[in-house]
Amino acid sequence: MLDRTDWLQPDGSESVGGMAFPLDGIKVLDLTRALSGPFATRILSDLGADVVKVEPPDGDLTRVFGSRTANLSSHYSQHNAGKRNVCIDLAAPGASELVLELADVADIVVENFRPGVMERNGLAWDVLKARNPKLIMLSISGFGQVGPERDRAAYAPVLHAETGILDRFADIHDNRSVDFPLSVADTTASVHGVIGILAAVVMAQRTGTGQHIDLSMLNAQFYNDDYLGMVMNGDNPPEGGGDVWDVEGGRLIVAAPFKMLWPTLAKRANLDDPGDEDGRRQVVADYFASFDSFDAVTAMLDQHNLAWGRVRPWREAIHDNPSVEARNVLTDIDDRAGGTRKVTQAPYQFSDAEAEVRGSVAYRGEHNEEILAEWLDLSPEQAEQLASDGVLRQQDRLNDRR
């Protein structure tokens, strides 16, 4: 059995603040990979749940995304810090039964396979529910468990395209359609998945029974489209939330459509009106350029109650924002190589509870014996037999690149 002290925070503790975690004592069986599922279970872990990630022998595909420290990639680390890991080969005889036994003692199961995969492995919701009536299961998929497109492969760019967001962005800016440099559809589904789980937990406390949550990325993305009501009524949504202007000392965005910005500045700064939008934009650009410093421009905007933001270079934004340290946006975890690495900290700052990443990043199968002993009361000899049978697997920490 591996020593868990090399997996926890550098100081060996699970809680820095000493307060209770909201989900302390909740067991989560994590059958997810890539992003929508792992991000959801990272949130649950940060809120105090004991999250056990079940990973296949070939590994989560994000283990190869980004640079590596101690053979652990930056992308995988970001979304899987704080979880323990069991590596199970579902193709091996008896493997599905082991997963069923883990689900029997879990409070929550999260999976984001394509619909039908759980059934083919003997892990259908009806089977899990019959064995554990209090179980809550979240299934995240691109187009849902039921519907004409349920079998389609779906990653975030697919949903960005299918929900019209890419085309709307291109249409507004007269630009070619390109995907966003972040996985909006994945993280949107993750957050709504956690909301669904927490609602089901509250209901289970009242009823004593769990339930299955069928969450499609399609539903979540449309639900989060704050201008969808306008679109359905034939209206034109705003052309973005504001324009970017070059000023002394950098660039800034003013969070107001130009048709609202112009009359405010024209009146309060007594700007001459050339009578057309292109001319007005040039007048505003010249006005902004007339200030001798970035602070002078923003002081003027503050005086007129116009919200603004510094357009920070994307590689530097996390490093030079004064609120990052003040708000504890980042935290250090053990990098498994004698140092530390930074990951984002949980954003929830409770008045009387704790929320934080509670450990480092696990190798595949690192906690095989530990989890089977804690969750199923299996002996080291029984775990060793499962390994001999090919059910349990373990990553070579130095040589296995997945």
Reported as half-sphere exposure (CB side, CA atoms, 13 A), residue 227 has a value of 14
The reported pLDDT for the residue numbered 30 is 98
Q: Judge whether residue 102 has pLDDT over 80.
A: yes
CB 188 within 8 A of CB 177: no
The pLDDT-based confidence of 182 (bands split at 50, 70, 90) is confident
The reported pLDDT for the residue numbered 176 is 65
Mean pLDDT of 174-198: 88
Contacts of 16 (CB under 8 A, 6+ apart): 9, 354, 356
Structure tokens given for 169 = 């962005």
Question: pTM, whole model, 2 decimals?
Answer: 0.90
| Annotation says 186 is catalytic | yes
269-291 per-position pLDDT tens digit? 999 999 999 999 999 999 999 99
Residue found by looking up tokens 């660039």 in the block: 251
Mean pLDDT of 219-243: 86
How many Å apart are CA 138 and CA 210, to the nearest integer?
Answer: 11
The least confident of 36-40, 212-216, 236-240, 250-254 is 236-240
The reported pLDDT for the residue numbered 400 is 74
Q: Judge whether residue 345 has pLDDT over 60.
A: yes
| Mean pLDDT for the chain overall | 91
How many Å apart are CA 358 and CA 370, to the nearest integer?
Answer: 17
- How many percent of the chain have pLDDT more than 70? 94
The reported pLDDT for the residue numbered 11 is 42
The pLDDT-based confidence of 142 (bands split at 50, 70, 90) is confident
Residue found by looking up tokens 């993305």 in the block: 221
Cα separations in angstroms, 252 against 69, 177, 193, 238: 36, 24, 35, 19
Domains and CATH numbers, the chain: 4-227+350-393 (3.40.50.10540), 243-318 (3.30.1540.10)
CB 382 within 8 A of CB 13: no
Mean pLDDT of 306-330: 93
How many Å apart are CA 30 and CA 118, to the nearest integer?
Answer: 13
Q: Which helix (H) or strand (E) holds 159?
A: helix 156-162
Residue found by looking up tokens 């640079």 in the block: 67
**Total length of the chain:** 402
63-90 per-position pLDDT tens digit? 999 999 999 999 999 999 999 999 999 9
Mean pLDDT of 31-42: 96
Contacts of 263 (CB under 8 A, 6+ apart): none
The pLDDT-based confidence of 36 (bands split at 50, 70, 90) is very high
The reported pLDDT for the residue numbered 169 is 79
Instruction: Please state the φ and ψ torsions of residue 69, each to the nearest 5 degrees.
Output: -130, 130
- How many percent of the chain have pLDDT more than 90? 77
CA 250 to chain centre: 31
Rounded to 5 degrees, what angle do the CA atoms 305, 311, 312 make?
130
146-162 per-position pLDDT tens digit? 888 898 888 788 888 88
Q: Judge whether residue 177 has pLDDT over 80.
A: no
The reported pLDDT for the residue numbered 237 is 75
Structure tokens given for 22 = 């909201």
The pLDDT-based confidence of 16 (bands split at 50, 70, 90) is very low
Q: Which helix (H) or strand (E) holds 317?
A: helix 317-320
296-311 per-position pLDDT tens digit? 999 999 999 999 999 9
Measured from the Cβ of residue 229, the count of other Cβ atoms closer than 10 Å reads 10
Residue found by looking up tokens 């349920």 in the block: 150
Among candidate residues 30, 186, 214, 334, the one labeled active-site is 186
The pLDDT-based confidence of 178 (bands split at 50, 70, 90) is confident
